[in-house]
A and B are shown apart, each in its own frame.
Chain A
Amino acid sequence: MMRENSESVGHSRREVLQFAAASAVASAVGLALPGGLSAASGSLRSAGVLAFSPNNVLFVGDITGAKIHAFALRDKDLTSQIDVISGNFHNFEGRDHVVGLDQKLAALLGTTIDKIVVNDMAVHQPTQQIFLSVERGRGTNAVPAIVKVNHGRLEILDLDSIPHSQVSLPNQPDSKAMLEFEPQQVYAITDLEYYNGELFVSGITNQRFASTLYRIPYPFNSKMATCTVEIWHPVHGEFETRAPIIRHVIRELNGTPYLFAVYGCTPLVRFPVAALKDGAHVHGDVIGELGYGANPLDMLTFTSPADSKDYLLVTIDTRSASQIAVSDLASAPPQATGGGIDFGPGGLGRTQRALPIKAEHIAILNSKWAVLIWRHPKTTYRLDLSTLALPYFFERKDGMSEMNWPNGPDPFEYGKHRSELSNQ
């Protein structure tokens, strides 16, 4: 399962991050389109973060509509991709599932690549089918779509025909409310995860303590717990209550469920799920400072096929991804609060391992492979959807090394395994 990029309102959150200084997105906010939406968009007004529940429900964050949608996928909406070859695992050679993803999305949605925004990617684990949340257009008239990958081909998920329920999020930021560089609404829904019969949704509201976590039972009923969250931000040397959680995951450690959250610039924070009660103002423990000036893109956990241990992975826009052992997450002591500005890294940030991942979106495909949306350095004019072997996230064919020479050294026995392709 997988998190990603929240967003909508015409500009991808990631874009906003990248071009914050020059941001002029105010004009793009607000007044969403009524007409023109297609049947395939169903009740979606925008397509942001995605998450699956174990029973085939696809959740979609819809910032423009200020809703979380639940689409109960039927068997016919899913196609097993277990037989799709992911690459040569032993030799760290992934494969492209979709070459020119943005070009193909543009063709399928009837537009040009400059109008294609991929906001999130999620993998339906039982079938290993990849789902993308996409928007056609970057203005108020953007049209949302959920696209799935079927043996390398892109297919539109016909949302109108799928059993659907939705829940509205209260106290959404005013569409005209601005941060210094961008509309507040961009961060209204930053992430969502299904855990044990509930959806955990992060984002900001128009409340005094803006950074908000919602606990929403699924199937949806009238209940919802809303709490505000506060952290000590070491790089900024202050307590903060408004900047939102960008990504979160929920994991049980020693029998206790925790929500681990990562913020911009880049604290890693731990909240006991039990503390997230309706009306509570919850203080999170900062257990790592992953490095200043960084924006987290994705956060996930995976089990290493090398040592069978679980790791937390945070991909970051400006630098290498961070890997932290999950076993350290529960035991890490909270960072001291109330000190001065500390550019870090601190706590688990000091022992994080840098991984060579440069992906716009990443998700775990299966026990051996991750899948990522990225621009290959040699083909930056297009987005590709490719696999990357766990646990090193290393793609051998992209590099120059002594081992690539004819009759070169072969310390990793690449030659012996050269023709081994696998789907798992």
Chain B
Amino acid sequence: MSSPVKCQPTLRVNSGAFPHGPGSVSACGLDPELVAVLASTTQPSDLLKSVFRVIVAAVPSPDGDGLPDMSGRYILYDDEVRFIPTFPLDTDVKYRVIFDARPLGFLRTEEPLMLEFLIPSDQKASALTEVTHIFPSSDLLPENLLRFYVCFSNSMHRGRALDEIALFDSGGRRVEDALYRPPVELWDRSMRHLTVLLDPGRLKRRVGPNMKLGPPLKASQSYTLEIGSGMIDVRGRPLRERSRKRFLVGDPVREEISVESWEVLPPVTGSRQPLAIMFKRPLDWALLSQAITISSAEGSTVGGQVVVDQSEKRWSFTPTSPWTAGMYHVCVGAGLEDVCGNSIVGAFDRPFRKNHQPATQTNSSSLIFELI
């Protein structure tokens, strides 16, 4: 386990590429001791040259000796040091930023920080990728929240989530070991949606990490999930800006989803009005898009479009063809979960009892409504 008071700098690309501006690269959140040393040095650039480097990643190395770093100067602001390149950041060039203060003895990380980015010249693609949404949408989340979904405006590259995505407490301190570090980043097929889990071992009561560290989130505390701009999109570019989701933590939810409590708002027969279903509490955004289907009395599935909104408390279904009179089944897949991982079968973290019978015997559940 890492020290909870570790100072972890972050790397950031400040937008503006030639010919629109010189652009710059920052290392933020520097160790105060390092800042003090740099501030007291007459030539901090000499120190920084070996600590904070910007290099062209694509240039092949010539025989024998190494290539020079990109020419530039450094400016120190509070806990940030900024590299201003002598020549503006070029387009379509892959840059690598390396921050490694270990030779100076100031950084308690094992690996140097690294960030790669590229600014494309293609004007049509000049809109940089950004975080479009972070689910759950609500800013009040249960203490035993299981996951976030981070959605991006473009497909992304793997490999940056561990460094760029972090949780901070209300004092701006990084919350260590709250987010699960999966061996493989959990992207969907489009590479636009990333699942960020809170450590299940700390969520499940009475297992080792939970007993040792407690739950990752504490009720009545507020937190910020931060997505750093160093996430790299499929074109090799960093994000337009970092993205933050602030939220307050409420009581945990440890019960199965009660389908019976859902409110079904039927559409008008003959219309293509959406069928809406209201939930008592937010359900999992990603699972909602697939877990609920509508079938006719004869068992054929009704085709249509699903929209999830109202902080994932409303599921709406607009049919491809107008509704006809008859009985309909709302079929709920056994995989549907709420934001805490509670399913229609049972709670994610339920007390273990002998001879316990799950509340729902079937693998799926359904509701019935009739249009006349």
Task: Convert B55-93 into 0s and 1s, putting 1 for each residue whose CB lies closer than 8 angstroms to a CB of A.
Answer: 110111111110111110000000000000111111011
Q: Is the CB of A110 within 8 A of B19?
A: no
- Decide yes or no whether A36 CB sits under 8 A from chain B: yes
Select B68's contact among A35, A113, A154, beta carbons within 8 Å: A154
What total of A-B pairs shows CB separation below 8 Å?
Answer: 90
- Decide yes or no whether A280 CB sits under 8 A from chain B: no
- Decide yes or no whether B18 CB sits under 8 A from chain A: yes
Number of A residues with CB within 8 Å of any CB on chain B: 30
Given A36-B18, A110-B54, the answer on whether A115 and B90 have CB atoms closer than 8 Å is: yes
Q: Is the CB of B93 within 8 A of A39?
A: no
- Decide yes or no whether A38 CB sits under 8 A from chain B: yes
- Decide yes or no whether B95 CB sits under 8 A from chain A: yes
Q: Is the CB of A40 within 8 A of B71?
A: yes
Q: Is the CB of A136 within 8 A of B90?
A: yes
Chain A residue numbers with a CB within 8 Å of B87 are: 38, 40-41, 109-111, 136, 143, 145
Given A36-B18, A36-B88, A156-B71, the answer on whether A110 and B56 have CB atoms closer than 8 Å is: yes
- Nearest residue, chain B, Cβ from A143: B87
- Cα distance A108–B89 when bound, in Å? 11
- Cα distance A136–B19 when bound, in Å? 13
- Nearest residue, chain B, Cβ from A105: B68
Select A100's contact among B56, B62, B70, B71, beta carbons within 8 Å: B62
Q: Is the CB of A36 within 8 A of B20?
A: yes
Q: Is the CB of A99 within 8 A of B71?
A: no
Interface members, chain A 125-151 (any B CB < 8 Å): 136-137, 141, 143, 145
- Decide yes or no whether A112 CB sits under 8 A from chain B: yes
- Cα distance A100–B61 when bound, in Å? 8
Q: What is the minimal beta-carbon distance from A161 to any residue of chain B, in angstroms?
A: 12
- Decide yes or no whether B171 CB sits under 8 A from chain A: no
Select B86's contact among A40, A100, A103, beta carbons within 8 Å: A40
Q: Is the CB of B19 within 8 A of A33?
A: yes
- Cα distance A24–B90 when bound, in Å? 24
- Cα distance A40–B56 when bound, in Å? 19
- Decide yes or no whether B22 CB sits under 8 A from chain A: yes
Chain A residue numbers with a CB within 8 Å of B69 are: 107-108
- Decide yes or no whether A256 CB sits under 8 A from chain B: no
Given A99-B65, A154-B68, the answer on whether A112 and B59 have CB atoms closer than 8 Å is: yes
Q: What is the minimal beta-carbon distance from B120 to any residue of chain A, in angstroms?
A: 14
- Cα distance A115–B18 when bound, in Å? 14
- Cα distance A115–B88 when bound, in Å? 14
- Decide yes or no whether B183 CB sits under 8 A from chain A: no
Q: Is the CB of B62 within 8 A of A382?
A: yes
Q: Is the CB of B59 within 8 A of A36?
A: no
Number of B residues with CB within 8 Å of any CB on chain A: 30
Chain A residue numbers with a CB within 8 Å of B22 are: 36, 38
- Cα distance A289–B63 when bound, in Å? 41
Q: Is the CB of B63 within 8 A of A112?
A: no
Q: What is the minimal beta-carbon distance from A316 to any residue of chain B, in angstroms?
A: 28
Q: Is the CB of A153 within 8 A of B86?
A: no
- Decide yes or no whether B4 CB sits under 8 A from chain A: no
- Decide yes or no whether B103 CB sits under 8 A from chain A: no
Q: What is the minimal beta-carbon distance from B186 to any residue of chain A, in angstroms?
A: 34
- Decide yes or no whether B105 CB sits under 8 A from chain A: no
Given A36-B20, A38-B22, the answer on whether A108 and B65 have CB atoms closer than 8 Å is: no
- Nearest residue, chain B, Cβ from A115: B90
Q: Is the CB of A35 within 8 A of B19?
A: yes
Task: Convert A27-42 into 0s and 1s, putting 1 for each residue whose CB lies closer than 8 angstroms to a CB of B.
Answer: 0000001011011110
- Nearest residue, chain A, Cβ from B16: A36
- Cα distance A153–B65 when bound, in Å? 11
- Decide yes or no whether B182 CB sits under 8 A from chain A: no
Chain A residue numbers with a CB within 8 Å of B20 are: 35-36
Q: What is the minimal beta-carbon distance from B11 to any residue of chain A, in angstroms?
A: 16
Q: Is the CB of B64 within 8 A of A103?
A: no
- Nearest residue, chain B, Cβ from A106: B59
Q: Is the CB of A36 within 8 A of B68?
A: no
- Decide yes or no whether A380 CB sits under 8 A from chain B: no
Chain B residue numbers with a CB within 8 Å of A379 are: 63
- Decide yes or no whether A270 CB sits under 8 A from chain B: no
Q: Is the CB of A110 within 8 A of B85?
A: yes
- Residues on A lying within 8 angstroms of B by beta carbon are 33, 35-36, 38-41, 99-100, 103-104, 106-113, 115, 136-137, 141, 143, 145, 153-154, 156, 379, 382
| Further 16 A-B residue pairs, CB within 8 A, beyond A100-B63, A104-B62, A112-B92 | A35-B21, A38-B87, A39-B86, A100-B61, A103-B61, A106-B56, A107-B69, A108-B68, A109-B87, A110-B54, A110-B70, A110-B89, A111-B56, A111-B90, A112-B90, A143-B88
- Residues on B lying within 8 angstroms of A by beta carbon are 18-22, 54-56, 58-65, 67-71, 85-90, 92-93, 95
Could you list 23 examples of A-B contacts with CB < 8 Å? A35-B21, A36-B20, A36-B21, A36-B22, A38-B86, A99-B64, A100-B61, A100-B67, A103-B59, A103-B67, A106-B56, A106-B59, A107-B59, A108-B69, A109-B87, A110-B70, A110-B71, A110-B90, A111-B87, A141-B19, A143-B18, A143-B88, A153-B68
